[in-house]
Amino acid sequence: MNSFRQPETSNVGLFSPQSRVVGGLLSTYDLSGDKIFLDKARDIADRLLPAWNTPTGIPYNVINLSQGRAHNPGWTGGESILADSGTEQLEFIALSQRTGDPKYQQKVENVITFLNKTFPDDGLLPIYINPHSGTTGYSPITFGAMGDSFYEYLLKVWVQGNKTSAVKLYRDMWEKSMKGLLSLIRKSTPSSFTYICEKSGGSLTDKMDELACFAPGMLALGSAGYSPDDSQKFMSLAEELAWTCYNFYQSTPTKLAGENYFFHSGQDMSVGTSWNILRPETVESLFYLWRLTGNKTYQDWGWNIFQAFEKNSRIESGYVGLKDVNSGVKDNMMQSFFLAETLKYLYLLFSPSSVIPLDEWVFNTEAHPLRIVTRDEGGVVKNLNEKKQKPFPRIGGRKEGRTG
């Protein structure tokens, strides 16, 4: 296999190659044990590393993989995006563990160390951060677009490290962020849908992205780390938010969700941006809630969503999004995450819990499973290729149909 190549004039965003390509290659290595996938993951990661060469260590979000030149997009005013800059920890920590080279982990953990120095009591950060000064300035706070996966990774690095004291900082930061999330929770009237607001300055906007529908699954996954009372509180919140996200789908003529929703006093939710591009977040949360509660209702909801995709998005050559979830007019594109995430989580929703068990694997933000490896106090586990591991499981076997 030749080395990855890119035209010298071509730039790529940092988020996609690390989460989709590095994450996918590492996941394939963990599942197959074939070292060629680890070598290719390291090749891409080495090309990405110059993005972290900033005064604060907060990475630029655009890089030329051939020349190693990095910068931020003009439309952000030169700022780095919170989600793009704080969603590399799982992959780069895993890469350091599996190669024995600490440089990848050090780069991404320096970001968290820097942010923790001034981390607010409510754990909520605006979506734009200056990579030179580290200041956040005035920009929206959201669990939707450009904020979402930063909070997801605070929890999942703690899970990835097997919840030891070496990764306690991540859990502590995440719990602060969940206090902040509680301050953004509102209920609609008259339907009593629970939703997550967005915040600008001191003002809240009654708007929730479908992207924020990852939050019920995140809350369910993280609830076990609390005391029994708090655990139940966060699990109940996860279930309430999942009901809202499911109704993002059920409230439209096509039974597919729009990109975002608004909530108005005395009215039901209303779709804002009305396209659907086959996003996975709601079915991701249904998967976690099914695994963690055993409640078959979540399978039923997932089945209904799948049927809506089959009816509205299936074409001869694959699946496409909708330009408008009200009219059902199709677009002409199948996003890569539909295969990597949406269909994968739907498959796992109807698979035995022994397929990618949550006590052995953690999913990155693009649904690529990475093996959980205990972090010692030194942080980096010695090259895992030198350690005896139990055999990598084979994925497949009996495929269960819909139950319940």
Handedness of CA 279, 280, 286, 288 (dihedral sign): negative
As a whole number, mean pLDDT of residues 55-66 equals 95
Q: Which amino acid is at 350?
A: F
Asked if residue 329 has pLDDT above 70, the reply is yes
Asked if residue 398 has pLDDT above 90, the reply is no
pLDDT at 189: 86
Q: Average per-residue pLDDT in the chain?
A: 92
* Domain spans of the chain, in order of start: 210-349
State the burial class of residue 391 (Cβ atoms within 10 Å of its Cβ: 0-12, 13-18, 19+): exposed
Of the residues 91, 152, 198, 259, which is catalytic?
259
**108: nearest Cα among 44, 177, 51:** 51
Q: Which residues partner with 319 through β-bridges?
A: 314
Q: Which residues partner with 81 through β-bridges?
A: 128
Please tell me which residue, 201 or 95, carries the higher pLDDT value.
95
Asked if residue 58 has pLDDT above 80, the reply is yes
**Would you state the structure tokens that stand for residue 257, as one six-digit string?**
């969700």
- Catalytic-residue membership of 366: no
DSSP assigned state of 291: H
Terminal-to-terminal C-alpha distance of the chain? 46
DSSP assigned state of 166: G
Q: C-alpha distances in angstroms, 230 versus 33, 38, 86, 225, 233?
A: 39, 40, 26, 9, 5
Percent of the residues in the chain that have a pLDDT greater than 70, as a whole number: 91
Separation between Cα atoms, residue 301 and residue 308, nearest integer Å: 11
C-alpha neighbours within 13 Å on the C-beta side of residue 6: 17
As a whole number, mean pLDDT of residues 313-339 equals 97
Asked if residue 399 has pLDDT above 60, the reply is no
243-279 residue pLDDT tens: 999 999 999 999 999 999 999 887 889 999 999 999 9
As a whole number, mean pLDDT of residues 162-166 equals 95
Query: Confidence class of residue 378 from pLDDT cuts 50, 70 and 90?
Result: low
Asked if residue 56 has pLDDT above 80, the reply is yes
User: Is the peptide bond prior to 190 cis by the omega test (within 30 degrees of 0)?
Assistant: yes
Query: Confidence class of residue 379 from pLDDT cuts 50, 70 and 90?
Result: low
Separation between Cα atoms, residue 260 and residue 210, nearest integer Å: 5
pLDDT at 388: 42
Separation between Cα atoms, residue 96 and residue 38, nearest integer Å: 11
Query: Confidence class of residue 137 from pLDDT cuts 50, 70 and 90?
Result: confident
Asked if residue 381 has pLDDT above 70, the reply is no
pLDDT at 322: 98
Contact 369, 30 (CB under 8 A): yes
Number of continuous H segments (helices) and E segments (strands) in the chain: 14, 16
Within 10 angstroms of residue 166's Cβ, the number of other Cβ atoms is: 18
pLDDT at 49: 97
Which residue in this structure is represented by tokens 């966060």? Answer: 234
Separation between Cα atoms, residue 149 and residue 157, nearest integer Å: 12
Q: Which residues partner with 12 through β-bridges?
A: 63
As a whole number, mean pLDDT of residues 72-78 equals 94
| 3-class secondary-structure state, position 38 | helix
Asked if residue 1 has pLDDT above 90, the reply is no
Contact 372, 159 (CB under 8 A): yes
Please tell me which residue, 375 or 349, carries the higher pLDDT value.
349
Q: Which residues partner with 369 through β-bridges?
A: 363
As a whole number, mean pLDDT of residues 92-104 equals 97
Separation between Cα atoms, residue 65 and residue 14, nearest integer Å: 10
pLDDT at 397: 36
As a whole number, mean pLDDT of residues 34-61 equals 97
Percent of the residues in the chain that have a pLDDT greater than 90, as a whole number: 86
Asked if residue 201 has pLDDT above 50, the reply is yes
Query: Confidence class of residue 188 from pLDDT cuts 50, 70 and 90?
Result: very high
pLDDT at 402: 32
pLDDT at 384: 55
Contact 260, 144 (CB under 8 A): yes
pLDDT at 395: 43
As a whole number, mean pLDDT of residues 125-132 equals 97
pLDDT at 190: 86
